[in-house]
Every structure is written in structure tokens, then in C-alpha cells.
Structure 1
């Protein structure tokens, strides 16, 4: 019988550690590295059933993909009930997910002290900034996670410092608290192997397409319990009417909960342009110098040249703001550059970007262009076939062959070849950042 077994977690000050083992058929999906997350608050008084949530949130989708069960010593009863609904949502989204059962020797139902606090997963991009604007009266703790788009690798130390400095400055200006988490969830699970098995089923990578809603929220459980956070928000990437397979959706995130905390998929009723409208209103009333950070290239500002920078700059203009005043170098000649890049296939665009450029096109119909360059671009965009701009090419043949070999190799052979596979992982697209 296929199974993943979770050992009892340990809490040492601010550090959570836990070992996980699997039956032979699932060993390839675990690297053998203990699961580890470091918080900036002590978690020693957090109940064991809540301490188990971060690792369960990572391994359960892997088990469901293989029809496997998960065994744990203790689990929070509220989380276990919600997890059944998360499982149903993900299995309904993906045909390859078979589901499984969580078995616990003990379910616990602690009664945390009412904290009345709220928290928000925050990067400073459009989506999370909009969620802050919507909930600013709650003074939410701003929570940033190192472990997904910024890895624990020392090579990413600079990026992490840039993010924490920026979030800390944003928080200090608004008298908010921050929470910074560092986890090895991408190296605890063997994501190259998950990609080898399931890339053909998902648009993107394992964590973005399947795991990140449950995974990121679950990481926060011990910290949220310790801080008394009752409402935990994660900003929506998509919006109503976009039916894309994505690991963070209302039917996933809204069902993640544990003793004392409920999670919320926030802003799903707003398109990206409407989120920029909300930010623009906030800029005009409260924060004239607000700068966004959305770049796919840099963490210490916006390059102003990547697709996401251009898309955000155009959206800011459509919301009545000048991009140069909010972190984006932009001028009218850039419109010709955007058109050339889109027509020339310079950027690898997916269905996410198609919907977002369609959203821009919809708004452009309602706005009087401010210049001849802007008018020419919006006229081109109105006539453009956005489906033709979406990248249809798959990964290089060498990567497809490597994935096929990894899927079919016996575990013993795979373990001997693992160093070569690890060396090749730099050529694979492991994560696809939130848009």
C-alpha cells in the first residue's frame, strides 16, 4: 500500500523540523532531507497537531497524485476537516489526482486565546498590495515566505534581503508588523521528479499549478497560532470567469483552516485592472509615493523592460497613474517596444498573460488615449489575436527525454542517477512566479 509517514515534529525556539518517510513506490518524490521551517516568533508552545500542518500541507498533494495515504501522530481537527474539502477541490481540478486518506493517531481540538489579529501573505506586487488596501483597517501582519520564488540557497540571500527590506519599509510607514518565514519545502520534496511525472498534466510547475495555495498557507500555521492571527489572507492571482488550473483558488484556499485561524482567497471578484484601480484610489487618498514591485528580473526595483513590468505600467496608466511615479520607468515610445515584443514572441506568455492583456484591452476601450503612441498601441491591441501570442512550444526535447527517463526508472536506479538529475534541474523551469 502506498503511503507517506510523517514523524512527530519538533519545535526548538523558532525552528520547526520534521522527518517524512515513504513506501518504496513514493521514495523518489522525497529527497530525504528533513522538512524545516524557521519563523521569527517562538513556536514552542504551539500544539503538536498544529505543528504538523506545514509538512502535511506539502506532502498531501503528492500523496493524492498517487492514490496514497498519509500517516501522522497528531493533527489539528479543524485542519483535517478542511483538508478533505481541499482534496476534493484539487481532485476535481485535475484528473490525475486520485486522492487518499489522512490517518492520525490523535486529532486535537485546542482552544487558542482569541488574538483578533489578521495576516496577509505579501510581496508588494499588484495582488497583495490590493489586498492590503482592502484590509488596511485591520492592520494585518505582512507575511513573506522564503522557499518558493526565492529559495534558501545562499545565492538567493541578496534577493531575500531586498524583499525583507522593502516589506519592512512598507510596514514601518504604516505601523504594521511583519513576519518572515524561511522553509526548504522545494528541496524537501523532489520537485524535479514531480515535474518529470506531472508536467504533462499541468500548465507550469508542480508548486504553482498544484501545491502553493495549501502549501504556503499551511506553512503559516504555527506562526499564526503563536501570534493570534484569526484571519489569514492570500491575494488572488486570477478572477471570476478565468477557469485555469492553478494551485491557489477560492475552493482551495478558503477551505484551509486550523484552530483559531481561517484562510481567505482575497480579491477574486476583481480583475487585475480593477485591483490597480483600488490601488490608484489609495494612492490618491493616502499614499502618493507608493511603489509596486512586480518585476520578473529584479527584486530591488523594476527593470521596466520585462513583460510584467510593461503590463503593469500600462495598467497603471489606464488607472490614471503615471508609472514613473510608482516604480516603473516608462514613456510613450515604450508602446512600440511592447508591440514589437508581443508580435515577435520575445516573451514566453501563457494563458495567464492572455487573460491579463485581454483585461487591459477591455479597459482601453473605455479610456481616451493620452498620446498618439498610446492610441496606436491600443488600436493594435484591439485587433490583435491574443491566442496567437500565447507560447505553444513545449520544453526542449532533451528535457522531455530526461523527464520520461526519470518517470520510468526504478527507484534504485533513480537514486544512483540523482546527482546527474540534480545537475540538470537548472535547465528545467521549476517554478512559475505569481503573475
Structure 2
């Protein structure tokens, strides 16, 4: 029987560690690393059932994909119920998930730590900034996580330092607290092997399409318990009417909960352009110099040249703001560059990016262009087949065949050829949107 066993969940000061054992058929999906997460508050007094949540949030989707059972000594009763609800939502979304059962020696009803606080997963991008604007009267703690788009590798130290500095600066300017969480949740899982097995079923990568709503929120549980957070918000990426296989949606995130804390998928009723509108209203009313950070290539500012920078700049213009005032170098000549890059397939686009450009297109149809260059771009966008732009951005056949080979290789063979796979898969890397 396929199984995953959580061993030795321990809290030492601000550090959480857990060992994981698996049945032989699941070994390929895990590396030799123990699961580790570092918080910036002491967690030694957090109940063990809550301490188990971060690792359970990472391994349960892997178990459900393989019909495996998960074993743990102790789990918070509220979170155990949440896992059943999240599993049901994910299985409804993904046909390849088989499900599984969580077995705990003890299920505890942990006493919540009253505090009345709230938290918000925050990067400074459009989505999380809109959520801040919507909930600013709560003065939410800004929570930033290292382990997904910013890896724990030393090579990403500068990116993490830049994010910390930017979020801390935003918090200081707005009278807010911060919480920084660092985890090896994706290097403890063998993400390339998960991608090799399940990319054929999903648009994007394993974590973005399956695991990240439950995974990121669950990672925060010990910190949220220690801080007395009653509400924890994660900003929506998509919106009503978009039916994509995406790992963070209301029917996932709104189910995530544990003793004293309820999680919320925030802003789903707003399209991305409407979120930019909300930010624009806030800029005009309260903060004219607000800076956004959405770049796919940098964390210390916006490059102004990647797809996401250009898309955000156009959105800002459509909301009546000047992009250069909010972190995006942009002028009318850039409209031709955007068109050329899209037509030539320079950017790897998924269905989610297609929907975002469709959202922009709808707004351009209601907007009078301010220049001939803008008018020409609006006219082109009105006619272009966005589905063709997405299909032309598919990874080459050689990469898809390589994934198929990795899927079918025995674990011992896979481990021997992993360096070659890692090199090849770097060409597949899709940097997902920041929160």
C-alpha cells in the first residue's frame, strides 16, 4: 500500500523540522532532505497538531495523486477536516488525483490563541496590493514566503534580500508588521519528478496547478497561531468565469483552516483590471507615489521589458495612471514592442496569461486611445487570436519527450540522470506571478 509517514515533527526556537518516510513507489517524489521551515517568531509553544500542518500541506497533494495514505502522530482537528474539504475540491478539478486517507494517532482540538490579528500573503504585486487596499483598516501583518518563486538556494539570496527590504519598507510606511517565512518545501519534494509525471495533466507546474494554495497557507500555520491571527488572506490570481486548473482558488483556499485561523481567497470577484482600478482609486485618494513590483525577472524593481511588466504597465494606463510613476518605464513606443514579442512567441504564455490579455482587451474597447501608437495597439489587440499566441508558446517536443522518459524511469535510473534532467528542465521554467 502506498504511504507517506511524517516522523519527528520538532520545533526548536523559530525552526520547524520533520522527517518523512515513504513506501518505495513514492520515493521518487521526495529528495533526501528533511522538511524545514524557519519563522521569525518562536514556535516552541505551538501545539504539535498545529506544527504538523506545514509538512502535511505539502505532502498530502502528492499522496492524493498516488492514492496513498498519510500517517502522522498528531494533527489539529480543524485542519484535518480542512484537508478533507480541500481534497474534495482538488479531486473535482483534477481527474488524475486518486485521494487517500490521513491517519493520526491523536486528533486534537487545539485551543486557539486569541489575538484578533489578520495576515496577508504579500509581494507588492497587483493582486496582493489590491488585497492590502481592501483590508487596510485591519492593518494586516504582511507575510512573505521564501521557498517557491524565490528558492532557498544561495543563488536567490539577493532576490530574497530585495523582497524583504521592499516589503519591510512598505510595512514601515503603512504602520504594519511583517512576517518572513523560509522553507525548503519544494526542494524537499522532488519537484522536477512531479513535473515529469503530472505536467501532462496541468497547465503550468505541479505547485502552481495543484499544491500552492494549501501549501503556502499551511506553511503559515505555526506563525499564525503564535501571532494570534484569526484571518489569513491570499490574493486571488484569477476571477469568476475563469475555469482553470489552478492550485489557489476559493474552493481550495476558503476551506483551509486550523485552530483559531480561517483562510480567505481574496478578490476573486474582481478581474485583474478591476484590481488595478481599485489600486488606482487608492493612489488618487491616498498614496500618489505607490510603487508596484510584478517583474518576472527582477525583485529589486521592474525590468520594464518582460511580459508581466508590459502587461501591468498597459493595465495602469487603462486605469488612468502613468506607469512610470509606479515603477514601470513605459512610453508609446513600447506598444509596438509588446505586439512584436507576442507575435513572435518570445514569451511562454499559458491560459492564465491569455485570460489576462483578454481582460485588457475588454477594457481597451471601452477606452479612447491617447495617441496613434496606443490606437494602433488597441486595434491589433481587438483582432488578434490570443489562442494562437498561447499555442505558439508551447515547450518543444524534445522537452515533452524528456518528461515522459523521466516519468517511466526507475528511481535509481532517474537519480543517476537527474543532473541532465535538471539542466534540460531549466529551459521549461515558467516563472509564475508573484502574490
**TM-score using structure 1 length:** 0.97
* Superposition CA RMSD, Å: 1.4
3-state secondary structure, aligned to 1:234: strand
When structure 1 is superposed on structure 2, of 3-12 and 338-347 the one drifting more is: 338-347
Residue 318 of structure 1 aligns with which residue? 318
3-state secondary structure, aligned to 1:400: helix
Residue 127 of structure 1 aligns with which residue? 127
Kindly provide the CA deviation profile for residues 107-157 of structure 1, in whole angstroms up to 9, marking residues without a partner as x: 011112311000000000000000000000000000000000000000100
When structure 1 is superposed on structure 2, of 384-393 and 299-308 the one drifting more is: 384-393
Distance 2:41 2:285 in 1: 34
Kindly provide the CA deviation profile for residues 294-321 of structure 1, in whole angstroms up to 9, marking residues without a partner as x: 0111111111111111111111011111
Residue 41 of structure 1 aligns with which residue? 41
Residues 1:134 and 1:240: Cα distance change in structure 2 (over 3 Å): same
Distance 1:183 1:43 in 2: 15
Distance 1:216 1:159 in 2: 19
Distance 2:51 2:209 in 1: 25
Residues 1:355 and 1:421: Cα distance change in structure 2 (over 3 Å): closer
Kindly provide the CA deviation profile for residues 163-221 of structure 1, in whole angstroms up to 9, marking residues without a partner as x: 00000000000110000000001110000110111111111110011000000000000
Alignment of 1:245-324 (within 5 A): 245-324=245-324
3-state secondary structure, aligned to 2:103: strand
* Structure 1 residue 418 displacement after superposition: 4.0
Residue 205 of structure 1 aligns with which residue? 205
Distance 2:95 2:73 in 1: 30
Kindly provide the CA deviation profile for residues 388-434 of structure 1, in whole angstroms up to 9, marking residues without a partner as x: 21134543344333322222222333344445444544344275344
**Structure 2 gaps, min length 5:** none
Residues 1:424 and 1:332: Cα distance change in structure 2 (over 3 Å): closer
Residue 389 of structure 1 aligns with which residue? 389
Distance 1:405 1:367 in 2: 49
3-state secondary structure, aligned to 2:391: coil
3-state secondary structure, aligned to 2:40: coil
Distance 1:430 1:313 in 2: 21
Kindly provide the CA deviation profile for residues 325-350 of structure 1, in whole angstroms up to 9, marking residues without a partner as x: 00011111111221222222222211
Distance 2:405 2:381 in 1: 43
Distance 1:364 1:88 in 2: 39
Residues 1:379 and 1:85: Cα distance change in structure 2 (over 3 Å): same
**Structure 1 gaps, min length 5:** none
Residue 113 of structure 2 aligns with which residue? 113
- The answer as to 2:252 corresponding to 1:241 is no
Residues 1:412 and 1:373: Cα distance change in structure 2 (over 3 Å): closer
Residue 219 of structure 2 aligns with which residue? 219
**TM-score using structure 2 length:** 0.97
Residues 1:431 and 1:68: Cα distance change in structure 2 (over 3 Å): farther
Alignment of 1:414-425 (within 5 A): 414-425=414-425
Residues 1:431 and 1:302: Cα distance change in structure 2 (over 3 Å): closer
3-state secondary structure, aligned to 1:239: coil
* Structure 1 residue 67 displacement after superposition: 0.5
3-state secondary structure, aligned to 1:161: helix
Residues 1:341 and 1:10: Cα distance change in structure 2 (over 3 Å): same
3-state secondary structure, aligned to 1:19: strand
Residue 12 of structure 2 aligns with which residue? 12
Alignment of 1:142-161 (within 5 A): 142-161=142-161
Distance 2:401 2:380 in 1: 40
Residue 28 of structure 1 aligns with which residue? 28
Distance 2:415 2:346 in 1: 38
Distance 1:384 1:209 in 2: 27
Residue 104 of structure 1 aligns with which residue? 104
Residues 1:376 and 1:228: Cα distance change in structure 2 (over 3 Å): same
Which of structure 1's runs of 4+ aligned residues deviate more than 6 A? none
When structure 1 is superposed on structure 2, of 162-171 and 405-414 the one drifting more is: 405-414
Residues 1:425 and 1:379: Cα distance change in structure 2 (over 3 Å): closer
When structure 1 is superposed on structure 2, of 271-280 and 363-372 the one drifting more is: 363-372
Residue 340 of structure 2 aligns with which residue? 340
Contact kept, 8 Å, 2:349 with 2:393, in 1: the verdict is: no
Contact kept, 8 Å, 2:117 with 2:140, in 1: the verdict is: yes
